[in-house]
């Protein structure tokens, strides 16, 4: 029988300051970078034109040849990118200021790109895999909707947790999730992943996943608060995290197996989504332990609830004497 981290007794909460520092190092530069440069939004959000083409293996065509063809067609500054294989390319011609005036601008760009490629490569010498033309209006709407979705999911979660637990737990869970969103945005910034609809979907899914994880720990906290009347919150948080540790390892292991298989063999279209999800599992686990639990303690310290036994007494050091060991008998296996 394999047991991982069974009967673990780590003082997680003690390391919270280090955890804050670590996560700040991760998030803050990313957000600062965001101030100077925008995220790499896909054309679904910015509006514009995208064409994915497959070129024949024989007579290799590279980005240079494509660039020449597009320049000859008068399309300067188009973005050309290899997509998975070196015979597949994605060409993005975003709306310039001059074309942004009319919705029809995207259609014209599309035709211009096709003409330029026909002239440069020959009409039959490449295959169009897909193309998208998005008007700027649709893109703006999508941006708004993404924020709306995040906002509403916060509200609904707060209400649900307030009903099932109490508002202090809900607030701590939402703050931990907010941390995850910021961390993920920073991650997207560092990796320069293209923010497509799927990636936004991944960020939203991450909200669910991170909440899920936090709730598992909080559920144990709720139970232990009832069970161990003598312990204070600091000890109960540590105990709950330790007790749920094997579960966390197992669940994150299996989910990670699924997302990593998507990253490596799921194909080019789904890879950004899978990468964000993989990162989300990391940050979700981290924040459940190091953000949600300590934040709950801070909240209880400021606005003590019924169960916040002695939260006020602790300012970061483990209580003396150390938390008494709970009764442990070995399983009869």
Partner 1 sequence: MSTIRGRLLVILALVIASVISLVPRHVTQRVPDAVTGRMKDTTVRRVPINLGLDLRGGVHLALEVDQSKGPVPDCADAIQRAERVVRTRVDEFGTTEPVVQIVGRCRLIVELPGEKDVNRAKGIVQRTAFLEFRITDMRNVFRDVIPSMDVALRAAGVRGPAAGPSNAVARLLGQDTTKAAAGADTSNTRGEGPLTSLLFQGSVAGEYLVPEEQWQKADSLINRAEVKRLIPRGVELFWGAQVESRGARSYRALYAVEDRPIITGDCLTKAQPRRDPLTNQSVVGFNLTHRCGRIFGDATARHVGDFMAIILDGRVQGQPPVIKSQIRNEGIIELGSRPFADAQDLALVLRAGALPAPLTIVDETTIGASLGVDSINAGIKAGVVGIILVVLIMVVYYRVSGMLAVGALALYVLFTLAGLAAFGFTLTLPGLAGFVLSVGIAVDANVLIFERIREELQHGKLVRTAVDEGFRHAMSAIIDSNVSTALTAFILYLVGTGPVQGFAITLIIGIAASMVTAVYVVRTFYMIWLQRRPDLVTLSV
Q: What is the largest CA-CA distance in the chain?
A: 81
Grouping H, G, I as helix, E, B as strand and the rest as coil, residue 176 is helix
Using the rule CB under 8 A, give the single segment among 9-17, 55-63, 304-312, 321-329 that binds partner 1: 321-329
Site for partner 1 in 179-218 (CB under 8 A): 197-198, 200-201, 204-205, 207-209, 211-213, 215-216
Is the Cβ–Cβ distance between 73 and 119 less than 8 Å? yes
Q: Which is nearer to partner 1, 30 or 238 (CB)?
A: 238
Bridge partners of 48, per DSSP, are 94, 134
Nearest approach in angstroms of CB 194 to partner 1 is 14
Grouping H, G, I as helix, E, B as strand and the rest as coil, residue 41 is strand
Among 28, 257, 313, 322, binds partner 1 (CB under 8 A): 257
Site for partner 1 in 93-122 (CB under 8 A): 102-104, 106-107, 110
CA–CA separation, 271 and 156 (whole Å): 30
Site for partner 1 in 259-318 (CB under 8 A): 259, 261-262, 264-267, 269-270, 273-274, 277
Q: Which is nearer to partner 1, 100 or 318 (CB)?
A: 100
Phi, psi of 133 (to 5 degrees): -135, 115
How do 85-94 and 79-83 pair as beta strands?
antiparallel
Nearest approach in angstroms of CB 149 to partner 1 is 4
Site for partner 1 in 13-72 (CB under 8 A): 52
Q: Is residue 124 at the binding interface for partner 1, with CB under 8 A as the rule?
A: no
CA–CA separation, 68 and 297 (whole Å): 61
CA atoms within 13 A on the CB side of 200: 18
Q: Is residue 256 at the binding interface for partner 1, with CB under 8 A as the rule?
A: yes
With vertex at residue 154, the alpha carbon angle to CA 299 and CA 284, rounded to the nearest 5 degrees, is 75
Nearest approach in angstroms of CB 258 to partner 1 is 4
**325 CB burial (10 A radius; 0-12, 13-18, 19+):** exposed
Find, among 222, 107, 134, 125, the residue nearest to 173 by Cα: 222
Among 25, 31, 250, 322, binds partner 1 (CB under 8 A): 250
**Binding-residue pattern over the window 229 to 248 for partner 1, x denoting contact by CB under 8 A:** --------------xx-xx-
What is the secondary structure of 66-78 as a DSSP string?
Answer: HHHHHHHTT-TT-
Nearest approach in angstroms of CB 40 to partner 1 is 19
CA–CA separation, 95 and 217 (whole Å): 48
Q: Which is nearer to partner 1, 238 or 244 (CB)?
A: 244
Total of residues contacting partner 1 (CB under 8 A): 84
Nearest approach in angstroms of CB 28 to partner 1 is 27
Site for partner 1 in 125-164 (CB under 8 A): 127-135, 137-138, 142, 145-146, 148-149, 152-153, 156-157, 160-161, 164
Find, among 129, 146, 110, 168, the residue nearest to 305 by Cα: 168
Q: Which is nearer to partner 1, 98 or 320 (CB)?
A: 98
Find, among 175, 207, 203, the residue nearest to 189 by Cα: 203
Q: Is residue 330 at the binding interface for partner 1, with CB under 8 A as the rule?
A: yes
Nearest approach in angstroms of CB 314 to partner 1 is 26
Among 29, 96, 122, 253, binds partner 1 (CB under 8 A): 253
């Amino acid at each position: 029988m394999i047991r991982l981290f069974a009967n673990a007794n780590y003082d997680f909460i003690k390391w919270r300051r280090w955890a804050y520092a670590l996560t700040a190092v991760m998030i803050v530069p990313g957000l600062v970078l965001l101030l100077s440069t925008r995220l790499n939004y896909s054309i679904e959000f910015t509006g514009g034109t995208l064409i994915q083409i497959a070129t024949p293996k024989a007579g290799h065509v590279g980005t240079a040849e494509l660039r020449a063809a597009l320049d000859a067609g008068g399309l300067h500054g188009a973005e050309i990118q290899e997509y998975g294989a070196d015979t597949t390319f994605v060409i993005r011609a975003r709306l310039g200021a001059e074309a942004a005036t009319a919705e029809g601008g995207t259609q014209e760009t599309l035709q211009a790109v096709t003409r330029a490629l026909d002239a440069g490569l020959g009409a039959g010498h490449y295959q169009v895999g897909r193309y998208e033309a998005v008007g700027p209006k649709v893109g703006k709407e999508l941006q708004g909707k993404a924020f709306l979705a995040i906002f509403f999911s916060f509200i609904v979660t707060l209400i649900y947790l307030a009903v099932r637990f109490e508002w202090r737990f809900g607030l701590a869970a939402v703050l931990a999730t907010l941390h995850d969103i910021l961390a993920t945005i920073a991650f997207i910034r560092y990796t320069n992943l293209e923010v497509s609809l799927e990636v936004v979907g991944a960020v939203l899914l991450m909200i669910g996943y991170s909440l899920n994880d936090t709730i598992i720990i909080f559920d144990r906290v709720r139970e232990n608060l009832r069970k161990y009347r003598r312990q204070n919150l600091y000890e109960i948080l540590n105990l709950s995290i330790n007790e749920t540790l094997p579960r966390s390892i197992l669940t994150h292991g299996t989910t990670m197996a699924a997302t990593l298989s998507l990253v490596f063999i799921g194909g080019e279209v789904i890879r950004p989504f899978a990468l964000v999800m993989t990162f989300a599992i990391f940050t979700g686990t981290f924040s459940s332990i190091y953000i949600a639990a300590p934040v709950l303690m801070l909240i209880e310290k400021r606005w003590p609830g019924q169960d916040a036994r002695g939260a006020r007494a602790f300012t970061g050091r483990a209580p003396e004497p150390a938390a008494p060991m709970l009764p442990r008998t070995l399983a009869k296996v």
